Amino acid sequence: MRRIILGGLLLIAVFALPCSILADDTIAKGDELFAQGGIENLLKSGDIYAQALAANPTSYEAAWKAARSYREYCNESKQKGIAGWQDICKKFGKIGMQYGEKAIALNAKSVEGHFWFGCSVGNYSDGVSILTALKEGLKDKTQNSFEQAYALDKMYKNGGPVKALGRFWYVLPWPLNNKDKSMALLREYQQLFPNDAEGQVFLGELLIDTKNKDEAKILLQKAAASDKQYYSDWAKRLLAKL
């Protein structure tokens, strides 16, 4: 009987080990592609992380990295004005959300799943509109995810949770938006990362909306001079309205 039990345990170990090793090797391949950058590599890396999760359904790393890749694929497509970027955001933003939810289910006490889920909702909203996302009940889920990310590690991804939560409270339609919360968070982010063009544009837009045009102009002029073309162009459009 003892031999049978030991034999069974050995078989379990033999079959379980290759799945774990396969998942780790697959994640490493995804990491290489993600690090190389480029729209195609972002999409491919997402698919590879998804394969890794299929090989090892308990891999938190594979889940959150899949969410990250699909989200970044959406974001790059949008910022580069790729044809059909809204359809890309609609499809892959939702896929990113699904992997973000899987990551949260696997490990709710780590920041990555919460952060990339919330970001994926943002991209999905770019594809279907914020109102549609709200009708689908995504407001509270997104708020909770960004608040959790902020509480767990607000400095993750260069202060990403601070900036994302600040922007979240601004873009919501009235009466759901909260400009006071948005202002506090975006000012916090500006103090932490004063040279980030995206943060400058987000705060600059809010300052215009709250009649602080002189301060907005200073921030937007800095963003307009940035080498980040998407945010430079955005800043110039806002400056033209002042």
Residues 142, 168 contacting (CB under 8 angstroms): yes
Identify residue 148 by its one-letter amino acid code. Answer: Q
Identify residue 204 by its one-letter amino acid code. Answer: G
Q: What is the CATH number of the domain that holds 217?
A: 1.25.40.10
CA 141 centroid distance within chain: 14
Query: What whole-number distance in Å separates Cα of residue 217 and Cα of residue 235?
Result: 9
Residue 127 lies in a domain: no
Domains identified in the chain, total number: 1
Q: What is the pLDDT of residue 22?
A: 58
- Give mean pLDDT, residues 204-231: 97
Residue 234 lies in a domain: yes
Residue 6: pLDDT over 70: no
- Write the CA distances from 217 to 67, 186, 195, integer angstroms: 35, 16, 15
From the CB of residue 95, how many other CB atoms can be counted at a distance below 10 Å? 21
pTM: 0.90
Tell me the average pLDDT of the chain. 92
Residue 92 lies in a domain: no
- Give mean pLDDT, residues 140-156: 98
Q: What is the pLDDT of residue 15?
A: 45
Range scoring the smallest mean pLDDT among 1-5, 18-22, 90-94, 132-136: 1-5
Q: What is the pLDDT of residue 17?
A: 47
Residues 234, 197 contacting (CB under 8 angstroms): no
As a 3-state breakdown, the chain gives helix, strand, coil percent values, each rounded to 5, of 85, 0, 15
Range of the domain at 198: 157-242
Share of the chain above pLDDT 70, in %: 90
pLDDT digits (tens, 9 = 90+) for 37-95: 999 999 999 999 999 999 999 999 999 999 999 999 999 999 999 999 999 999 999 99
Residues 97, 124 contacting (CB under 8 angstroms): yes
Residue 69 lies in a domain: no
CA 236 centroid distance within chain: 25
Residue 211: pLDDT over 90: yes
Q: What is the pLDDT of residue 24?
A: 82
Residue 4: pLDDT over 60: no
Residue 25 pLDDT level (bands cut at 50, 70, 90): confident
Residue 165 lies in a domain: yes
- Give mean pLDDT, residues 9-28: 59
Residue 146 lies in a domain: no
